């Protein structure tokens, strides 16, 4: 009986050989697109030994003109609703307040939602431009107390209807089998448990976002990121690992029976203008070789590594490394989604595909350009195969109404005779493949496929990539070396030219009272970094709430200074902290307290004249203090006059009311002087009019 696997452990896999590569290789090649014609990504110049490449702030980079479909301008129709696409800029226009550095899962969720504790849908529909830098490992299974949630913890929250027992995948497996589609209370309980997992591990990404890793160890482990109902998104320099499904579904009708998982490491749903660049995708702690066999099929806990579905459009996938996975990359979710006609336009260039089983990519409906990619197999492909189920199926799948153009790709096969399986037909009719190297030799892979295909594919495709964007190809002979040197996370020298580590802590002070001698509600908070690693953004928090943020220039270890204008505070105590950020991290200052004692107007002095004659005049004089903007005079508690005053703190203020003739008697006059911070009552003056 299969035992439920634990949740992903999140331990990084070895990358030491790749970390030694100089960061400029990937950057130079990814961005070397020049005008007329645009170079797609020529080989980078050799790095100078001993001289590190300068760090680049990836948060502000945008896609280069001509870099595939994501750089295209024009109409697109996700779910048949028109959207006018423009080249991807992500969150590059973000205000300083919308820059985040995250080092745990909840911080990522808060940043994408735009508020602490925000929901998945808050993130999904958030269109405010944001830059989110990821440092270290983000793991949704890791609790705040350091313990880990497990699949069994989730299952224990679900009760199987009619039994009173907690759900268990072992019970699910025991109840069904080959040729039997699960149904009834156990299937309902599995669905409920899967929904609980989704709340923990599935995270949406909304529009106008740049999500980038910093350094060579930025990782998201055990989670599924989904760009959904969004546009203008960049995801770069991240290792996205092991989107593990605790509760896969058995589908008896899927090619004789298969286990199907719900989660992709990264998926693009109903979204347009997306750039996915220099990332690594893998199965982490649960590679295919570790999976049990249940009902004679691998107990598959992963879906795709990177899927583009549900009418998504205008995507460029560049310089990514996709490793050791079966159903790797599908473009188009279903043959029945005819609303996706004209969508699913995707460019894939300079990606490295290592030991994948299939879908590199498989396409429905889309015009897809596949050029200068490396497809390599090692002994791991052989080890993952069995006599009944060879692991390698195909690389390029021509699905319904698709049109694939494949140019100058390099393929390295363990078994050269499998060249005829580089292409597979899934109801498509068009695929053009040119200049393909197989184990270093040119091979007409389309002819190899058509030689035995029941439905041959035509090389007469309906589109030409050069009509959509200018590009130039690297020579197929050079592709393997170029891609191995430049693809994947940790290649780009990411960070900031301003600093090489998280910023130092700013000293916080204020100038309250320096201008007028009054501790009123208008002042400046001053933030100074006298020495250390510089910041790129400083955020000001008042009583724990973000009230202002600024971009700051810097060159470590030079000093930095920021000033925040505060206005309209009432009398009270205010605590300020400054959070300094750069792509490497964030630091928080000591708390600085400001006490406001003079925000409301000073106390006026009332005088009265004319009591002997019965014709009374009342004057109000503010000799010192914060000025008022309004004066109200009351006689015996009833308002008799109201005047606007011009404030010029700390100058004196004067107001006069001609009360006029009063009948004999005793009268008490008082006045209220007010401004936005409050009101101050003058000491009363008593007037007695004699008969």
Give me the active site residues, please. Answer: 359
Three-point CA angle 246, 384, 427, nearest 5°: 80
Residue 344 burial by CB count (10 A; 0-12/13-18/19+): exposed, middle or buried? buried
| Residues near 218 by beta carbon (within 8 Å), at least 6 away in sequence | 134, 135, 136, 137, 212, 237, 238, 239, 489
DSSP-derived secondary structure letter, 25: H
CA proximity to 162, closest of 143, 182, 136, 187 = 187
Paired tokens of 400: 């319904």
Q: Quick one: which of 77, 40, 72 has its CA closest to 365?
A: 77
DSSP code string of 585-624: EEEEPPPEEEEE---SPPPPEEEEE-TTTTEEEEEEEE-S
Q: ∠205-206-209 over CA atoms, to 5°?
A: 85
| Helices marked H in 439-503 | 445-450, 465-468, 476-486
By the 8 A CB rule, do 554 and 566 touch?
no
What whole-number distance in Å separates Cα of residue 603 and Cα of residue 623?
A: 9
Q: How far apart are CA 302 and CA 304, in angstroms?
A: 7
Quote the CA–CA distance of 391 and 352 in Å, as a whole number.
Answer: 18
- Return the axis-axis angle of helices 476-486 and 24-31, rounded to nearest 10°: 130
Q: First vs last Cα of the chain: how many Å apart? A: 110
SS3 sequence, 343-393? Answer: CCCEEEECCEEEEEEECCCEECCCEEEEECCEEECCHHHHHCCCCCCCCCC
Q: Report CA torsion sign: 405, 407, 410, 415.
A: positive
- Note whether 532 and 518 are within 8 A (CB): no
């Amino acid at each position: 009986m299969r035992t439920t696997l634990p949740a992903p452990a999140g331990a990084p896999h070895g990358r030491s050989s790749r970390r030694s590569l100089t960061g400029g290789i990937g950057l130079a090649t990814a961005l070397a697109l020049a005008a007329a014609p645009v170079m797609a990504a020529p080989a980078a110049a050799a790095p100078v030994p001993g001289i590190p490449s300068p760090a680049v702030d990836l948060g502000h980079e945008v896609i280069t003109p001509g870099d595939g479909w994501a750089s295209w301008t024009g109409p697109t129709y996700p779910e048949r609703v028109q959207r006018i696409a423009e080249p991807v800029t992500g969150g590059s226009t973000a205000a300083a307040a919308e820059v985040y550095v995250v080092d745990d899962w909840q911080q990522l969720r808060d940043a994408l939602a735009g508020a602490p504790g925000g929901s998945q849908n808050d993130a999904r529909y958030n269109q405010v431009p944001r830059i989110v830098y990821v440092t270290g490992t983000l793991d949704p299974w890791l609790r705040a107390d350091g313990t880990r949630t497990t699949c069994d913890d989730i299952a224990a929250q679900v009760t199987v209807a009619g039994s009173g027992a907690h759900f268990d995948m072992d019970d699910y497996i025991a109840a069904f089998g080959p040729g039997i589609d699960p149904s009834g209370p156990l299937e309902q309980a599995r669905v409920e448990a899967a929904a609980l997992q989704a709340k923990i591990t599935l995270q949406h990404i909304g529009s106008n976002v740049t999500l980038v890793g910093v350094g060579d160890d930025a990782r998201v482990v055990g989670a599924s990121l989904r760009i959904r109902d969004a546009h203008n998104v960049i995801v770069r320099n991240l290792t996205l690992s092991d989107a593990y499904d605790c509760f896969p579904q058995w589908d008896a009708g899927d090619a004789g029976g298969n286990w199907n998982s719900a989660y992709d490491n990264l998926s693009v749903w109903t979204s347009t203008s997306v750039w996915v660049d220099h990332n690594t995708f893998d199965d982490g702690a649960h590679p295919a070789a570790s999976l049990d066999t249940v009902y004679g099929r691998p107990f598959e806990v992963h879906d795709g590594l990177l899927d583009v579905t549900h009418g998504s459009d205008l995507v460029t996938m560049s310089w990514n490394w996709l490793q050791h996975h079966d159903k790797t990359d599908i473009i188009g979710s279903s043959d029945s989604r005819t609303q996706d006609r004209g969508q699913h336009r995707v460019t894939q260039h300079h990606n490295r595909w290592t030991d994948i089983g299939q879908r590199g990519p498989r396409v429905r409906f889309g015009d897809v350009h596949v050029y200068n990619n490396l497809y390599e197999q090692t002994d791991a492909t052989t080890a993952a195969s069995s006599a009944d189920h060879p692991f390698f199926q195909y690389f390029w799948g021509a699905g319904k109404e698709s049109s694939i153009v494949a140019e100058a790709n390099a393929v390295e096969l363990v078994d050269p005779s499998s060249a005829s399986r580089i292409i597979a037909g899934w109801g498509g009719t068009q695929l053009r493949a040119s200049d393909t190297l197989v184990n270093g030799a040119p091979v007409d892979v389309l002819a190899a496929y058509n030689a035995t295909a029941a439905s041959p594919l035509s090389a007469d495709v309906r589109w030409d990539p050069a009509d959509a964007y200018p590009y130039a190809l690297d020579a197929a002979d050079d592709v393997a070396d170029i891609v191995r040197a430049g693809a994947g996370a940790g290649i780009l020298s990411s960070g900031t030219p301003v600093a090489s580590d998280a910023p130092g802590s700013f000293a916080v002070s204020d100038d309250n009272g320096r201008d007028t001698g009054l501790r009123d509600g208008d002042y400046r908070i001053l933030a100074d970094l006298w020495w250390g690693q510089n910041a790129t953004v400083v955020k000001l928090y008042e009583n724990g709430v973000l009230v202002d943020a600024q971009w700051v220039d810097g060159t470590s270890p030079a000093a930095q200074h920021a000033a925040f204008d505060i206005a309209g505070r009432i009398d009270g105590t205010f605590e300020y902290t400054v959070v300094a950020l750069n792509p490497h991290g964030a630091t928080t200052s000591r708390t600085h307290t400001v006490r406001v004692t003079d925000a409301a107007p000073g106390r006026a002095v009332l005088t009265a004249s004319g009591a002997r004659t019965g014709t009374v005049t009342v004057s109000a004089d503010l000799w010192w203090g914060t000025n008022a903007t309004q004066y109200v005079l009351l006689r015996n508690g009833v308002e008799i006059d109201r005047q606007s005053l011009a404030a010029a703190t700390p100058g004196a203020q004067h107001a006069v009311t001609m009360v006029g003739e009063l009948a004999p008697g005793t009268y008490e006059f008082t006045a209220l002087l007010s401004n936005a911070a409050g009101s101050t009552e003058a000491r009363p003056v008593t007037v007695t009019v004699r008969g």
